[in-house]
């Protein structure tokens, strides 16, 4: 059986800038695949490229880009928009910017069904009420008549999730869905997503910078740096035995409650994410890496370093651990 | 006993929120009768959800916002009536967003020099010397001092904001979410820098953050705010080991540590959201509290003193 989403050697350029430089990943039905990385690493561009939503000037190339077995590389805008919001849905970081402030929650939610399925209004309203209840919103009837600005951040994000589920999608792409929320609400929203995934068999591509979220919800993790996936592994394996120096650096930066020592410095990665000029070769992390050597400027092979564990680094096993 | 760096007594702040042309304005109590003191050289972490009043509290301590009641003493001196320039020499802010808190049309060194220039009695040569010293302290080069903020990364901009806060050699720095807009690797650099500066310069921090792991890392004492009140204030280590208020416990439970296999915790707060314009009677946390019992809905809890702090909850009394 083919995966729900298959991406092979995806490349995205904006003019002379390579934002995504050959990314491969798959999302299975019922699986959560996390793309993790810092700002500017290309994780959001990857998700936009998959959905065919790149900004003007963005160019996408891929050896393979398929959704539920269908090649969607050559889909035109009309075919893509039929897919988006229907079988493939999205949630973004800031619900206030992705909800239309001029329309009520109800009209935005029902529009999805009416447009994709031609469902009559009354039925669409019933479905909206059902989903708002499902995502834990009390008094859904009242919420349908409200405008986005009348809702709290947590409620808005719940509305976004309910809206994304209107057409029973198979794939959910969530770009930093809880970053703008309080930790208490974040936990509630992530629990909700996990529950929905179990009930509906959703495949989720979750984009985040937060390693705590990754550890708790992902089945598989891909760590991105400067437009590439530098390491990819099942979640438990990645946290147990991180191999790439960047992944290890990232993990050492996170203060872990109960395990931090006051007044002891946190690990940190010196320097900043570099700009990648066209024609760049070698490891993009080498300027910040403690283990860099001359060979890092050459071509870096992607290699297997464990069960379903890949990395883009020449560091031999056991080195620098 | 030495003078506390910050002392706050019965501090209160109300806002009037307009509800439209004809409706009467709503009264929002953002900070409600808050008292505490921060010993010199220590770090008080303030945590709580958005809207709990932590930023309002910080703004009053900085003298940027007039309290509706109560008083603030900084280094033993009353804040109201203090000369702005004298206040600036005592206490300085570092804000969350280094993208909006730096003037985009000025060079980094001029941004850092601004507090000195505003003192209006510092010689130019002295200003240059102090700016250079500040730049070096935060790990920026002289060359970076000649750039504009837009030419710097987020972490470098936050270093500029810290350099500006330090240039007057204040005793107290109020950090309001200083790393929330930064990537984790950069956050670690900035936290390490803040810790180093505190040790070297003997600074006192009021450190506001929604990130409990960060607060645990930097704070010696932690105050948990909920709808304008400090519901628990304890020594940091004790608070994280044995939280006494159910709200503190819920906050700690919500932290997603990078430990795979644990799943997402059920915090048990329900989906009622706190609304500062509509504070519940009795204990203000009771509608969300998993441990709510008879008196909570009607009687406001009293402050209970503990060996290592205080907590405001009927269960502790």
- What pLDDT, on a 0 to 100 scale, did the predictor assign at position A40? 83
Chain B residues whose beta carbon lies within 8 Å of the beta carbon of residue A272: 153, 155-156, 186
In this structure, are strands A32-36 and A203-208 parallel, antiparallel, or unpaired?
Answer: parallel
Would A317 be classed as within a structural domain? no
Would A118 be classed as within a structural domain? yes
Number of domains making up chain A? 2
Domain that holds residue A278: 5-87+170-312
Q: What is the DSSP string of A243-306?
A: -SHHHHHHHHHSPPTTT--TTSPPP---S-PPP--TT--S-TTGGG-TT--GGGGSPPPEEEEE
Pairwise CB contact (< 8 Å): A187 & B253: yes
Chain B residues whose beta carbon lies within 8 Å of the beta carbon of residue A214: 258
Contacts of residue B115, Cβ cutoff 8 Å, sequence gap at least 6: B88, B92, B164, B167, B168
- What pLDDT, on a 0 to 100 scale, did the predictor assign at position A97? 77
Pairwise CB contact (< 8 Å): B153 & A272: yes
C-alpha to C-alpha distance for B299 and B283, rounded to whole angstroms = 6
- CA-based torsion, A277, A282, A285, A288: positive or negative: negative
C-alpha to C-alpha distance for B135 and B127, rounded to whole angstroms = 12
Pairwise CB contact (< 8 Å): A262 & B217: yes
Which of A123, A142, A166 is the C-terminal boundary of a domain? A166
Report the percentage of chain B scoring pLDDT > 70.
99
User: Which among A38, A154, A187 has the least Cβ separation from residue B273?
Assistant: A154
Phi, psi of A222 (to 5 degrees): -120, 125
Q: What is the DSSP string of B12-79?
A: EEEEEE--SSSSPPEEEEEEEEEEEEE-TT-EEEEE--TTSSHHHHHHHHTTSS--SEEEEEETTEES
Residue ranges of A 171-230 with Cβ closer than 8 A to chain B: 182-188, 190-191, 194, 209-218
Domain shared by A128 and A218, yes or no = no
Cβ(B281)–Cβ(B297) under 8 Å?
A: yes
Pairwise CB contact (< 8 Å): B260 & A216: yes
Which of A166, A192, A222 is the C-terminal boundary of a domain? A166
In Å, how far are A301, B86, B113, B127, B194 from B116, measured between CA atoms? 54, 12, 5, 7, 21
Would A30 be classed as within a structural domain? yes
Would A321 be classed as within a structural domain? no
C-alpha to C-alpha distance for A62 and A12, rounded to whole angstroms = 9
C-alpha to C-alpha distance for B123 and B129, rounded to whole angstroms = 10
A135 has a chain B CB within 8 A of its CB: no
Cβ(B224)–Cβ(B251) under 8 Å?
A: yes
- What pLDDT, on a 0 to 100 scale, did the predictor assign at position A319? 66
Residue ranges of B 271-300 with Cβ closer than 8 A to chain A: 271, 273
Pairwise CB contact (< 8 Å): A191 & B266: yes
- What pLDDT, on a 0 to 100 scale, did the predictor assign at position B181? 80
Of B106, B97, B163, B176, nearest to B136 by C-alpha is B163
Q: How would you classify residue B242: left for phi > 0, otherwise alpha for psi between -120 and 50, otherwise beta?
A: beta
Would A318 be classed as within a structural domain? no
Which of A110, A131, A166 is the C-terminal boundary of a domain? A166
In Å, how far are A18, A23, A281, A294, A313 from A298, measured between CA atoms? 18, 19, 6, 8, 11
- What pLDDT, on a 0 to 100 scale, did the predictor assign at position A320? 56
The number of CA neighbours under 13 Å toward the Cβ of B42 is 17
- What pLDDT, on a 0 to 100 scale, did the predictor assign at position A258? 67
| Rounded to 5°, angle at Cα A228 from A224 and A232 | 55
Domain shared by A61 and A103, yes or no = no
Residue of B20, B99, B264 to mutate for A, most A C-beta atoms under 10 A? B264
Domain shared by A63 and A212, yes or no = yes
In this structure, are strands A228-234 and A309-312 parallel, antiparallel, or unpaired?
Answer: antiparallel
Chain B residues whose beta carbon lies within 8 Å of the beta carbon of residue A215: 256-260, 262
Domain shared by A215 and A307, yes or no = yes
Of A142, A120, A122, nearest to A132 by C-alpha is A142
Domain shared by A185 and A76, yes or no = yes
Pairwise CB contact (< 8 Å): A215 & B191: no
Give A201 to chain B, closest Cα distance, Å: 17
* Number of A–B residue contacts, CB under 8 Å: 149
C-alpha to C-alpha distance for B166 and B161, rounded to whole angstroms = 9
Of B122, B13, B117, nearest to B69 by C-alpha is B13
List beta partners, residue A71. Answer: A66
The number of CA neighbours under 13 Å toward the Cβ of B66 is 3
Residue of B152, B156, B184, B213 to mutate for A, most A C-beta atoms under 10 A? B184
3-state secondary structure of B102: coil
Cβ(B8)–Cβ(B59) under 8 Å?
A: no
Would A239 be classed as within a structural domain? yes
CATH of the domain at A21: 3.40.50.300
Domain shared by A120 and A243, yes or no = no
Q: Could you give the dihedral angle defined by the CA atoms of residues A217, A43, A176 and B157, in that order, rounded to the nearest 10 degrees? A: 120
**Is residue A208 within a helix (H) or strand (E), and if so which, with residue range?**
strand A203-208
State the Rg of chain A over Cα.
Answer: 21
Residue of B96, B158, B183 to mutate for A, most A C-beta atoms under 10 A? B183
User: Which among A215, A240, A263 has the least Cβ separation from residue B195?
Assistant: A263
Pairwise CB contact (< 8 Å): B257 & A136: no
B181 has a chain A CB within 8 A of its CB: no
Give A278 to chain B, closest Cα distance, Å: 21
Query: How do residues A5-44 score in pLDDT, each as one tens digit?
Result: 999 999 999 887 889 999 999 999 999 999 999 888 899 9
List beta partners, residue B305. Answer: B310
User: Which among A188, A235, A265 has the least Cβ separation from residue B192?
Assistant: A265
Residues of chain B with pLDDT under 70: 1, 271, 317
Domain shared by A245 and A110, yes or no = no
Domain shared by A251 and A153, yes or no = no
Q: What is the DSSP string of A145-175?
A: TS-GGGS-HHHHHHHHHHHHTTT--SEEEEE
Domain shared by A151 and A209, yes or no = no
Residue of B154, B199, B271 to mutate for A, most A C-beta atoms under 10 A? B271
Residues of chain A with pLDDT under 70: 1, 258-263, 319-321
Residue of A43, A182, A204 to mutate for B, most B C-beta atoms under 10 A? A182
Pairwise CB contact (< 8 Å): A262 & B218: yes
Would A319 be classed as within a structural domain? no
- What pLDDT, on a 0 to 100 scale, did the predictor assign at position B41? 93
Query: How do residues B200-220 score in pLDDT, each as one tens digit?
Result: 999 999 999 988 888 998 999
Domain shared by A148 and A280, yes or no = no
C-alpha to C-alpha distance for B172 and A262, rounded to whole angstroms = 19
C-alpha to C-alpha distance for A5 and A70, rounded to whole angstroms = 9
Domain shared by A102 and A229, yes or no = no
ipTM of this model?
0.83
Domain shared by A298 and A152, yes or no = no
- What pLDDT, on a 0 to 100 scale, did the predictor assign at position A1? 59
Would A247 be classed as within a structural domain? yes
List beta partners, residue B93. Answer: B174
Pairwise CB contact (< 8 Å): A154 & B216: no
The residue written with tokens 């795979």 in the block is B260
Which domains are delineated in chain B?
6-99+171-312 (3.40.50.300)
Of B262, B212, B184, nearest to A217 by C-alpha is B262
3-state secondary structure of B244: coil
Pairwise CB contact (< 8 Å): A256 & B263: no
């Amino acid at each position: 059986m083919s995966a729900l989403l298959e991406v092979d050697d995806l490349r995205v350029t904006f003019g002379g800038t390579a934002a995504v430089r050959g990314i491969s990943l798959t999302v299975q039905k019922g699986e959560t695949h996390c793309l993790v990385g810092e700002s500017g690493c290309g994780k959001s561009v990857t998700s936009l490229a998959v959905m065919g939503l790149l900004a003007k000037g963005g160019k996408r190339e891929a050896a393979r880009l398929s959704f539920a077995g269908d090649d969607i590389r050559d889909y035109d805008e009309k075919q893509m928009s039929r897919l988006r919001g229907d079988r493939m849905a999205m949630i973004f970081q800031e619900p206030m910017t992705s909800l239309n402030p001029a329309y009520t929650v109800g009209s935005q939610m029902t529009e999805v069904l009416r447009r994709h399925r031609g469902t009559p209004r009354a039925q669409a309203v019933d479905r909206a009420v059902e989903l708002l209840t499902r995502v834990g919103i009390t008094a859904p009837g009242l919420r349908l008549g409200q405008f986005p600005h009348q809702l709290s951040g947590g409620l808005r994000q719940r509305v976004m999730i309910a809206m994304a589920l209107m057409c029973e999608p198979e794939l959910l792409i969530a770009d930093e869905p809880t970053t703008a929320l309080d930790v208490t609400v974040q936990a509630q929203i992530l629990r909700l997503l996990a529950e929905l995934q179990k009930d509906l068999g959703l495949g989720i591509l979750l984009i985040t910078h937060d390693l705590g979220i990754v550890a708790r919800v992902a089945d598989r993790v891909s760590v991105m740096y400067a437009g590439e996936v530098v390491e990819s592994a099942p979640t438990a394996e990645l946290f147990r035995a991180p191999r790439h120096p960047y992944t290890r650096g990232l993990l050492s930066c996170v203060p872990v409650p109960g395990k931090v020592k006051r007044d002891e410095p946190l690990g940190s990665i010196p320097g900043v994410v570099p700009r990648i000029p066209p024609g760049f070769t070698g490891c993009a992390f080498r300027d910040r890496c403690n283990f860099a050597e001359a060979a890092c400027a050459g071509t870096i092979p992607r290699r297997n370093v464990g069960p379903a564990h890949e990395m883009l680094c020449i560091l031999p096993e056991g080195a620098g651990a | 006993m030495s003078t506390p760096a910050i002392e706050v007594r019965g501090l209160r702040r109300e806002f009037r929120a307009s509800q439209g042309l004809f409706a009467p304005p709503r009264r929002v109590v953002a900070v409600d009768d808050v008292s505490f003191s921060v010993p010199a050289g220590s770090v008080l972490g303030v945590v709580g959800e958005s809207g709990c009043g932590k930023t309002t509290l910080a703004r009053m301590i900085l003298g940027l916002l007039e309290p509706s009641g109560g008083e603030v003493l900084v280094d033993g001196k009353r804040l109201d009536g203090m000369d702005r320039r004298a206040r600036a020499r005592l206490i300085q802010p570092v804000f969350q967003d280094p993208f909006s808190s730096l003037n985009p049309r000025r060079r980094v060194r001029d941004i850092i020099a601004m507090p000195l220039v505003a003192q209006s009695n510092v010689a130019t040569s002295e200003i240059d010397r102090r700016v250079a010293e500040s730049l070096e302290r935060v790990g920026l080069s002289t060359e970076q001092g000649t750039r504009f903020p837009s030419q710097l990364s987020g972490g470098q901009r936050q270093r500029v904001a810290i350099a500006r806060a330090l240039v007057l050699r204040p005793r107290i720095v109020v950090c309001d979410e200083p790393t929330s807009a930064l990537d984790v690797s950069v956050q670690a650099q900035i936290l390490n820098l803040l810790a180093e500066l505190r040790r070297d310069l003997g600074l006192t921090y009021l450190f506001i953050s929604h990130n409990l792991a960060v607060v645990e890392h930097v704070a010696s004492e932690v105050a948990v705010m909920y709808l304008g009140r400090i519901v628990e204030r304890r020594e940091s280590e004790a608070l994280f080991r044995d939280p006494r208020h159910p709200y503190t416990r819920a906050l700690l439970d919500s932290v997603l540590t990078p430990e795979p296999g644990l799943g997402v915790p059920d915090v048990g707060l329900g989906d009622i959201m706190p609304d500062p314009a509509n504070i519940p009677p009795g204990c203000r946390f009771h509608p969300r509290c998993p441990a709510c019992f008879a008196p909570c809905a009607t009687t406001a809890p009293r402050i209970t003193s503990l060996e290592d702090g205080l907590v405001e909850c009927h269960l502790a009394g």
